[in-house]
Amino acid sequence: MAAFLNSAAASTTNKGKSSAYYGATLAKDKNNPVFQALNSEIKIIYNHIKKRSDPKYIKPDNESCSRCSDTIFELWNRFEPKLQKNIYYKKLLEMGDTLLSMKEYKLALWQCYERYLLRFDCGNFLDISEGRELEEIFFSDGFETEESGFTFRALMGKSICLYQMIKGNDDKLQNKQSVDKCLQILSFLRLLMQIILPKERLCWLIYNGSIHIYTISRHLMSLGHSAQVLEYVIWASVCMETSIPLVSVKYLTWRSTLYTAVCQCYYDCKSPQHAEAFARRGLAKINELNQLERMSNSVQSPQSTVAFRQATIKMAIMVFKRSVFETRRKPKGLLRPKTRANYKDVVNGGWPRTLTEKLMNEMFEGSAAQFLALIETLTDSNRRIILTGPPAQDNEPEILDVYVELFMAGQELLAGGGGLKPSGPKAQSVIGMPPLSGVTEFTSLMESAVLGIDGIPIHSVIKFMKLAFNYEYWDLFDNLVEPVRAYLSITSVANYQWYEKLLELLLAMEKLSHSKKQSKKKETGNEEVPEDEHPPLNPNVASAPGTSMKSTSMNDDHINLADILLSIISGPFQKKDIEMDIIVDSALILWNKCKTVFHKYQTGSVENPRYIQKMDQPYKWMYLLDTVHQTLCWCGISSVDPSLMAEVVIRLAMLYESSAYLDTSDGLRLRKESVSEGKSSSDPSSIFPKIIKEKSGMKDSKTTLTDIGLTEINHSRISMMSSPANLTAKRQLDQAKSILELGLKDMSYARQAVALNDGKSIADVCWVKSVLNDTSKLLPGELNPEVFSHQMNQEVSEVDEDCHGDDLVPDSMKESATTVWNTVKDLHLELILMYHRVCLKLASLKQLDASSKPKPVNSKTKVKENKEEAQIDSNKILKSGEDYENVLNVEDLTTQCKKNYIYKALLFMENALLSTSGVSYNGKQKKLLEESLALIQKAQLEEKRTFLENRSYPEDVRPSKVPPPPILMCRTDTTMVFKPATFIPVTGEKVAWFRIYARNSTGSNVKVRLNDYHLPGTGNQVPVGHDEITVSGLIPNERYVFAVSAYDGSGKMIGGIGETSKPILASHPLPILMTYAFLAQISYQVGYYDVTRQAFDVLWEHFIMEKPAPCGVTHITPVKKDFKLTLHK
């Protein structure tokens, strides 16, 4: 309401004197009271933004989320009439640049740059594709005016703000729309530089534009989009060459950076011939500039010398990266035997020993430059460090020899050879020279290379070791790993802590490498390698009480890898400082081992936990799976592969649930049967006999990220061995509940990260089945062309006659992508179902604990063959005094579902299934299943209404007094994206801004008002032309209503607040058909076949098309003579 009053009072405020009244023509006049008031208020705004950006700042409850936006909006509404036009534009853009530097991109874009650009009727400026059109819209008066500089400044600022907003919402650019928008921004920047290029006076814009293009392109290149940004990086490089003021030594370093980016794009696209050609072209340009500098009378400064050396080294590396292989390649028509060179005699020779070292010695000066060229040559963006493998087997023998020579040269450089040292015989590390004699304290390899000195920093050595590991040069890796670990241990640098842990992880992965095992067998004459051949990774850590480090369980390579992964995610490492790909790949390798085991034993039935008893060492695999779950959650893999994360969560939660089932009466009966049959090898007492005796000193297993503490590897092993053998049923169900809660959060985040704002992913209406006039063909349409899409059939009355189904399905989703994301939605629903089942089991235990307290077991009267098992069961099963304060009952679980019909239906289904007491169903089960069916039907109607109301808007919009309701474009559980509907005021005013308001739909008089702007995203002034208004901070499973208000260019509201929308549920669209499938399954298990038949009929009608009516076409066939067959005798 305050914002409305401020804008309404703008007319009275604007009646003050203007700055021209006081005789001021420059904004620097300190005596002008208008400038003084403006600067004072701007300073207050900056101070508040700085205060708000402080991590310790706590926003007051009564403060709106749009306070800064309202303040700036009201500020310019008041001062625009008081300032001269050029001074107003200058102040406006100065604030935009300041807000941009303060990382307030949304405020800078909407309140400054967009406010300046409102004077141009351009619509979406990213849609401009021709330079002439751009000049007609923004530069109709030419480029020589003062306002043209303001316009260039505003367009550049708007482009950068748009990119930063995209990056802030989707840093990894997982959403296809994010990539498309980034490419549109690059295209616009190229178009802007195109019209500036002939104007030397505006060369600073060429320089700034090249920086912006490189920044965006580099981000896209790191995410695998090199082929799409190649043309833009080439354009930036050519522009720097074409602009005469920029062809100087001052900008040579930046030009070489652009050249290197172009070459790297070519190498990423596997076009090394183009990369080498462009690098040689860059060398020629650098040589031309060097000759011009020598011809001039100016004295060459040290800075220019460094610039020339750095640029030359960069281009020479790009040339060497391909030349080192191509110079060794033989002609294809030459017939030659495939033989490999023998390097045993070459190792002890003098530098340079091989053809590769000779080429390296000719092109680069100093070991730093030579090692830098070697690292860049071996680096391949298409390879991952943990996924080891030799160079491509189809390569020619000469090419494979080059790789061997490169690693030999690297080992020689690390030992202190090569570089500036004279050629000749030199002692190698094998005869006494330390392997790290060439390592120095320099922090940058490029700085050392530019100075032309010898010396390699330790982080470059680590990178070289990772490459040796990746290419499976095990001997080189093993020879360097211990000296490097010793070097890191004596160096007190905080960043080296990650390097130590990385080497520890690589050593653990080396033991699991299949190729390393094969090479060991060859060396030992096919003899088995003893398990204790390698010493423990950390011999200083003492073994656990009652454990043996020589046991199979403690020396298990998979357990060692799991311990290291847990130490990483629970250690002091930050995600931005480590290589996440290595952690993810290690966890995925561990997951592949677990998946093979669980696919063999785990059937998916919770009530049949016999598979736990059939597994060999089940709690070991449970620990490994738990480690995989924690690691993948820490890495955020759910946003990349949500189906993988869902499978891990389901299997781990099912393990805990099945283990808890063994503590029930039915589970005890299964245990007695297994004991009578004979002790299984998977029994905890038989797997870890010594650990069971010392169970009192064990820790519980950690399954969520908040449970992970700074524990030692030793404790994590004890946790693995004790879990879940010494946990009660209640604590095991708590673990399963925590796992499922975290899995649901990850799934929600994954679906939100890739949801498209196209208006087709707002509801699940795949159950709608109808046909066109031709009943033999269905019209497939989809809700989301990129992710979470369904194939639906639109109704006849709502589909145009010239509409084709193939037009509604994009090419990228016509094959398997649709199926994949439909599976993700089904897995999301299954996670919800499992979560309700676990919560109901906990509620049942709570009710059982409240009704009867178990008595302690007298071990003397209890006869069992195994006294240790009796002790475990007495502590685990009959333990009383469990804490059930945080366990919700059925009523609380129903309230927790709020207004989501699908959630309630799944809860009622599971409640009916767990309420089975006899052979036939009871009245409670009947009521619950009927309510579930009714809730699903309500959800159907709600989803259909949401889709139809927001799918489109009539084209013939009539003038109205207030804006219509906004159009929903995307819906998640915490965020909704809207598009303002077309609004034509009856007064004829031009709309310049929109504001959106939102509130919860509870209450009798549900109507949005002007003071409903407390949710993030509400109350902000959004310029016309922006089709996306995001409202976040929604409470999941609640319903909200929305409305917009319109403002003219002076900030005055047009009419009043707009019409209120229908209530919209804050939830991801959940699959209706899958819910019917669960209902059919559960009702069949209960025995209530009436509901089963109704649910099955819905599925049958969706998948089975009705028989088409016979067509009325008459076929006329001519009369033919009867066919006669004559037999030859």
Helix (H, G, I), strand (E, B) or coil at 603: coil
Q: Which residue has the tokens 């169900």?
A: 733
**Coil vs helix vs strand at 997:** strand
Token pair in block for residue 15: 């009646």
pLDDT at 567: 94
pLDDT of residue 777: 36
pLDDT beneath 70: ranges in the chain: 1-30, 332-341, 393-394, 422-433, 514-555, 605-608, 663-726, 769-817, 851-883, 918, 952-955, 1112-1113, 1115, 1123, 1129
In contact, 808 and 784? CB cutoff 8 Å: no
Q: What is the pLDDT of residues 905-923, one digit of tens each?
A: 999 999 999 988 767 788 8
C-alpha distance from residue 12 to each of 5, 15, 33, 385 (Å): 12, 6, 18, 67
Residue with token string 């391949």:
380
Q: Give the per-residue pLDDT at 387.
A: 92
Residue 641's SS3 state is coil
> Side by side, which strands form the sheet with 976-979?
967-971, 976-979, 1029-1031
Q: Kindly report the length of the chain.
A: 1129
**What is the full DSSP assignment across 430-450?**
GGT--TTTTB-S-S-HHHHHH
The model's pTM is: 0.83
Task: Specify the pLDDT at position 368.
Answer: 92
Decide: 488 and 458 in contact? Cβ < 8 Å: yes
Beta bridge partners of 57: none
Rounded to the nearest 5°, which phi and psi values hold at 837?
-65, -45
Question: Which of these, 302, 299, 236, 222, lies nearest to 265 by C-alpha position?
Answer: 222
Helix then strand then coil, in percent of the chain rounded to 5, is 55, 5, 40
Coil/strand/helix, residue 998: strand
Distances (CA, A) of 495 to 123, 345, 802, 1108: 49, 39, 64, 71
- The DSSP letter of residue 1063 is P
β-pair type (792-793, 780-781): antiparallel
* Contact indicator for 74, 57 with CB cutoff of 8 Å: no
What is the per-residue pLDDT across 227-238, written as a single tens digit (0 to 9) for each? Answer: 999 999 999 999
The answer to whether the beta carbons of residues 465 and 480 sit under 8 Å apart is: yes
Answer whether 825's CB lies under 8 Å from 1071's CB: yes
Residues ≥6 apart with Cβ < 8 Å to 409: 354, 356, 357, 360, 370, 374, 418
Tell me the C-alpha distance between 538 and 279, whole Å.
Answer: 47
Helix residue ranges per DSSP H, 662-707? 665-677, 684-687, 689-693
Nearest to 649 by CA among 589, 588, 736: 736
